[in-house]
Amino acid sequence: MQFRRNTRLASAVGLVLGLLCAVEAAKVNKHKPWIETTYHGIVTENDDRVLLDPPLIALDKDAPLRYAGEICGFRIHGQNVPFEAVVLDKSTGEGVIRAKGPLDCELQKEHTFTLQAYDCGEGPDGANMKKSHKATVHIQVNDINEYAPVFKEKSYKATVMEGKQYDSILRVEAVDADCSFQFSQICSYDIVTPEVPFTVDKDGYIKNTEKLNYGKERMYKLTVTAYDCGKTRASEDVVVKINVKPTCKPGWTGFNKRIEYEPGTGSLPLFPSVHLETCDEPITSIQANIELETNHIGKGCDRDTYSEKALHKLCGKRPASRPHSPAANTLLDNTPPASIHYRA
């Protein structure tokens, strides 16, 4: 009996001493937690996992003491920071940073804020809790290729001269709303229409691969598309119309070389709608020679036997009329169907 009583007493004393020691030890929180000074993180937009370098671990020299040596939390400082930091393991101080919601790289590419770790204090109530210094955290939001290239114009058109080789006829241009260079840059343009004598380069400049012929094709209609550097094709291809203009030749137009005239019908304008094509070149002087010829001289026409005066009368010549310029309404005098020679 004596032996059993002594054993009980010793156990009770030991328990009390042990508890006292534990309480005494827990009351001492000597050290504040320690974290790195700078962290760099990467998160992909529309994801919440942040890959942190170095990994987030808060150390406390009071470890392995309960409470004082444990990490109870991380605190983020900054306005509207879309991240939170949580403790994964109190005793190792391991934690993670994660996005509170989906991130949009197109809205904001980078986030910077400060982070602080705190230990568990001296007991379950967290009394005398100690905080670490503030670390700076930079987080970069990685892009997802969500946007397709979009052409700036609804359609494009240009006019080219036939027989000419162009370095550039026109430029098509597409833009892309993604936030990264890779997914927003246009890497290539492509002419979708097969077998057309045109190429497009990576900057969107279109040129002809051979000289064009107005007689063969007056207008080309090309469909062009664009790809971003993530190989996403434009949401809508664009139409490019290229008109071929015939080569300009300077000279007179708008007249007939042969004119029928019935004797006795009075005066007849020879060139009522004649036009001098100058091909937009500057003019220094214009010279025009008009020669009228009959077709039937020597073929039984008897009018040559008339005197000039009689011919004038017969053909109804007005006294003052005299051919002067092809552009004016030159009057046909006594000449039957005529050939006109001109020089400009």
Could you list the residues that contact Ca ion (CB under 5 A)?
Answer: 29, 31, 60, 62, 68, 119, 130, 143-147, 176, 178, 183, 228, 232
Going by C-alpha positions, the residue among 306, 287, 305, 297 that lies closest to residue 344 is 287
Nearer to Ca ion, 184 or 335 (CB): 184
Q: Do the beta carbons of residue 228 and residue 279 sit within 8 Å? A: no
Nearer to Ca ion, 74 or 252 (CB): 74
Q: Which residues contact 220 (CB under 8 A, 6 or more apart)?
A: 196, 197, 198, 241, 242, 244
Shortest reach from residue 65's CB to Ca ion, in Å? 8
Shortest reach from residue 63's CB to Ca ion, in Å? 8
Distance between CA atoms of residues 26 and 125, nearest Å: 12
Nearer to Ca ion, 29 or 334 (CB): 29
Indicate the pairing of strand 38-44 with strand 51-53.
Answer: antiparallel
Shortest reach from residue 148's CB to Ca ion, in Å? 6
Name the H helices within 143-269. Answer: 181-184
Nearer to Ca ion, 144 or 338 (CB): 144
Shortest reach from residue 55's CB to Ca ion, in Å? 20
Shortest reach from residue 182's CB to Ca ion, in Å? 8
Q: What is the C-alpha R_g of the chain?
A: 48
Nearer to Ca ion, 185 or 223 (CB): 185
Q: Which residues contact 202 (CB under 8 A, 6 or more apart)?
A: 186, 187, 188, 189
Half-sphere exposure for 50 (CA within 13 Å, toward CB): 29
Shortest reach from residue 88's CB to Ca ion, in Å? 18
Q: Do the beta carbons of residue 294 and residue 301 sit within 8 Å? A: yes
Nearer to Ca ion, 107 or 279 (CB): 107
